Amino acid sequence: MKRASVETTHADAATIAAALRPDNTPSMSTRVDGDVVRTQIERETTGGLQSSVDDYVVNLTVAETVARTTREHRSNHE
């Protein structure tokens, strides 16, 4: 089994993790620890692991962009 761990820090880690979880496969687990999102990914092959990590990073980038845009929008309208 091949494994990867991805840890990222976010202003609203719980929101980021919630946005990521629906796209997680059964071989992925995501948890929040303070301001850190930790995701473990397991796959049988190196190629499969690389593909899953690539997909995860794209989803993470989108989630962070949406969360940041929402924060900025709120602060501009308060």
pLDDT at 58 over 90: yes
DSSP code, position 23: G
Rounded Cα distance between 39 and 36, Å, is 10
Query: Using CA atoms, how far apart are residues 49 and 26, in angstroms rounded to an integer?
Result: 13
pTM for the whole thing? 0.87
13-57 pLDDT per residue, tens: 999 999 999 999 999 999 999 999 999 999 999 999 999 999 999
- The residue to which tokens 């990914």 are assigned: 41
Q: Is the pLDDT of residue 5 over 90?
A: yes
Task: Give the confidence band of 76 by pLDDT, cuts at 50, 70, 90.
Answer: confident
Instruction: State how many domains the chain has.
Output: 1
Task: Give pLDDT, residue 72.
Answer: 83
Q: Does the residue 61 lie in any domain? A: yes
Domain CATH number, residue 11: 3.30.310.50
- Specify if 58 maps to a domain: yes
Domain that holds residue 15: 2-73
